[in-house]
């Protein structure tokens, strides 16, 4: 995990410094002396490798630098202020989308090759194919402009402000959950131990949720781990559409203004969360499926 993060930090640092342009967007209006003073202030006059070494030292002390876009504000403070909305939307979207997707997947598997199976599968394919920013605009048009039930955007009406962006972001985990659970449950429900449960007189619903679902969750967890991190760290377009003051919006503004240190900090944050979630996913494998523990110990 540490080596992976080191490679990501190194690659991100050098890629940022190879970007065209500079963080000083108004450099055409600055004199040579003013540019020299700014480069000296932010350390851009030092050799590239020296700046890289200094950046690594600062990261080890929890210092990600200062934002070149927001009046020398510390990046740790900037991200701390914006992480909350992104995490809230990400968790809500993953929980809602996964629960609904699992239910639809189980229904589709229990009614294989019948109307409900075709309907749920078509719903999952549509959700997987349509980008979430298209869904976001359609939700705004229907629920905010036409019906006027919910606010069209911003972050000033409490939980009501989170409903539409949550629904837009939940499309992807819902579609993935439905697709994976349906595929796995079809195979699981034809297993010998499921036939034994039926022979004992257990209901189909109890068989599906008590015996079948647990064995079908392994592939789903593999997909949901990285997806959760992606949603928690902010969807770039969806957050801009709903004017959510989250990580995604900040990341977009930082790219447009070549705010090097902010771009690198967001990338490192995303990478660290992704590596941690992959590690936790391996642990969850053993908690959900005892066979993994047996194979690991063997």
pLDDT score of 10: 92
pLDDT at 7 > cutoff 90: yes
Pick from 52-61, 110-119, 123-132 the range whose average pLDDT is largest.
52-61
pLDDT by residue (tens digit) across 26-64? 555 666 776 777 777 777 778 888 889 988 998 888 888
Indicate the burial class of 272 (C-beta count within 10 angstroms; 0-12, 13-18, 19 or more). middle
| CB contact burial 22-56 (16+ within 10 A = b; e otherwise) | ebbeeeeeeeeeeeeebeeebebeeeeeebbeebe
pLDDT at 91 > cutoff 60: yes
Q: How confident is the model at residue 243 (pLDDT cuts 50, 70, 90)?
A: confident
pLDDT by residue (tens digit) across 132-172? 888 888 998 988 888 888 888 777 777 888 888 889 888 88
Average pLDDT, the chain: 80
Q: pTM of the predicted model, to two decimals?
A: 0.76
pLDDT at 195 > cutoff 80: no
The reply to whether CATH 1.10.3720.10 applies to domain 85-246 is yes
């Amino acid at each position: 995990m540490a080596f992976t993060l080191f490679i990501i930090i190194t690659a991100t640092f050098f890629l940022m410094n190879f970007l065209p342009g500079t963080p000083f967007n108004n450099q055409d209006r600055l004199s040579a002396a003013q540019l020299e003073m700014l480069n000296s202030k932010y350390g851009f006059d030092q050799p590239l490798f020296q700046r890289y070494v200094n950046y690594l030292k600062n990261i080890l002390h929890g210092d990600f630098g200062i934002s070149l876009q927001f009046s020398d504000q510390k990046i740790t403070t900037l991200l701390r202020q914006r992480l909350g909305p992104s995490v809230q939307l990400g968790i809500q979207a993953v929980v809602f989308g996964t629960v609904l997707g699992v239910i639809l997947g189980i229904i589709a598997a229990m009614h294989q090759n019948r109307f409900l199976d075709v309907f749920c599968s078509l719903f999952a394919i549509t959700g997987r194919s349509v980008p979430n920013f298209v869904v976001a605009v359609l939700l705004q048009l229907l629920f905010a402009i036409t019906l006027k039930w919910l606010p069209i955007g911003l972050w000033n009406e409490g939980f009501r402000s989170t409903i539409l962006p949550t629904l837009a972001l939940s499309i992807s985990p819902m579609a993935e959950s439905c697709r994976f659970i349906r595929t796995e449950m079809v195979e699981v429900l034809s297993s010998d131990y499921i036939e034994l449960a039926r022979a004992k007189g257990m209901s189909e619903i109890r068989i599906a949720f008590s015996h079948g679902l647990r064995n079908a969750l392994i592939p789903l967890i593999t997909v949901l781990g990285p997806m959760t991190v992606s949603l928690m760290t902010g969807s770039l377009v969806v957050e801009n559409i709903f004017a959510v003051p989250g990580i995604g919006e900040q990341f977009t503004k930082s790219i447009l203004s070549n705010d090097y240190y902010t771009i690198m900090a967001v990338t490192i944050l995303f990478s660290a969360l992704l590596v941690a979630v992959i590690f936790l996913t391996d642990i969850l494998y053993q908690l959900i499926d005892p066979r993994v523990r047996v194979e690991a110990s063997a």
